[in-house]
Amino acid sequence: MFGLKLRETNILKIIEESLAKLSRQGNVDIKLKKFLENDVVWIDYEQMVTALFDLEKNAIEAMPDGGSLIITVEGDEHQVSITLADTGVGIAEENIPLLFTPFFTTKPAGDGTGLGLPSAYAAVKAYRGNVTIESNADPKKGPTGTTVRIALPRRQIFQAEESKMIVHEED
Ligand SMILES: Nc1ncnc2c1ncn2[C@@H]1O[C@H](COP(=O)(O)OP(=O)(O)O)[C@@H](O)[C@H]1O
Ligand SMILES: [Mg+2]
């Protein structure tokens, strides 16, 4: 957990802030669907704003002629999940295994750095969470688009252990 500023954050606020940072959304219709009563998660606020911003930017860049991005937030007492589903061009099957490799990009030099997905993945992994990506780039197989799902534990394991230790000391 080196360098992470873990604190009590509100995931809905983080998502809203990441969306506010988007300077260009073209003809993309963005919807946020909230299915969470308690949106508190222990993470690094700035880092997660950046990670979500990068994913939203990818979605917008995949829809040059417009489309829709639906962000769904849900969860239970143990974890929250954020799903970003776009109706963009999709990701070719052979590229899926390369997505978390730093500097992998299909964008013209100067446009893409190939660091958006690897950084988001590293951030989520640091919180013992997970990122899964499903995509279809072949219109013959159905509507094209990409769905990125982030799962985040509410609290970190070491925090839970810390509080257990305190309980033991008081015993
Ligand atoms: N939502 C998406 N729709 C289509 N392709 C995507 C999407 N997200 C990522 N990609 C593909 O993954 C590649 C890597 O993404 P990323 O790591 O963010 O780097 P960059 O955006 O700088 O290329 C992109 O170049 C693109 O080919
Ligand atoms: Mg990107």
Residue 1: predicted pLDDT = 46
Is 1 within the bounds of a domain? no
Is 49 within the bounds of a domain? yes
Which CATH number characterizes residue 106's domain? 3.30.565.10
In sequence order, what are the beta bridge partners of 79?
Answer: 153
Q: Which tens digit of pLDDT belongs to each residue from 105-146?
A: 999 988 889 999 999 999 999 888 999 999 999 999 999 999
Domain count, the chain: 1
Q: Which tens digit of pLDDT belongs to each residue from 67-93?
A: 999 999 999 999 999 999 999 999 999
In sequence order, what are the beta bridge partners of 150?
Answer: 82, 131
Entry pTM: 0.91
Helix, strand or coil, per DSSP, at residue 98: helix
Task: List the alpha helices (DSSP H) in 21-115.
Answer: 45-61
Please work out whether the CB of residue 51 comes within 6 Å of at least one atom of ligand 1. Answer: no
- Rounded to whole angstroms, how far apart are CA atoms 116 and 34? 24
Distance 77 CA to ligand 1 centre (A): 31
Is 53 within the bounds of a domain? yes
Distance 114 CA to ligand 2 centre (A): 6
Nearest CA to ligand 1 atom 5: 91
Q: Which tens digit of pLDDT belongs to each residue from 16-61?
A: 999 999 988 889 999 999 999 999 999 999 999 999 999 999 999 9
Cα distances (angstroms) measured from residue 87 to each of 51, 65, 67, 108, 143: 20, 10, 6, 21, 8
Is 14 within the bounds of a domain? yes
Residue 163: predicted pLDDT = 53
| Model confidence at 154: pLDDT above 50 | yes
Please work out whether the CB of residue 12 comes within 6 Å of at least one atom of ligand 1. Answer: no
The whole domain housing 67 covers: 7-170
Is 45 within the bounds of a domain? yes
Distance 90 CA to ligand 1 centre (A): 9
Q: How many residues does the chain have?
A: 171
Q: How many CB atoms lie within 10 A of CB 116?
A: 20
Is 159 within the bounds of a domain? yes
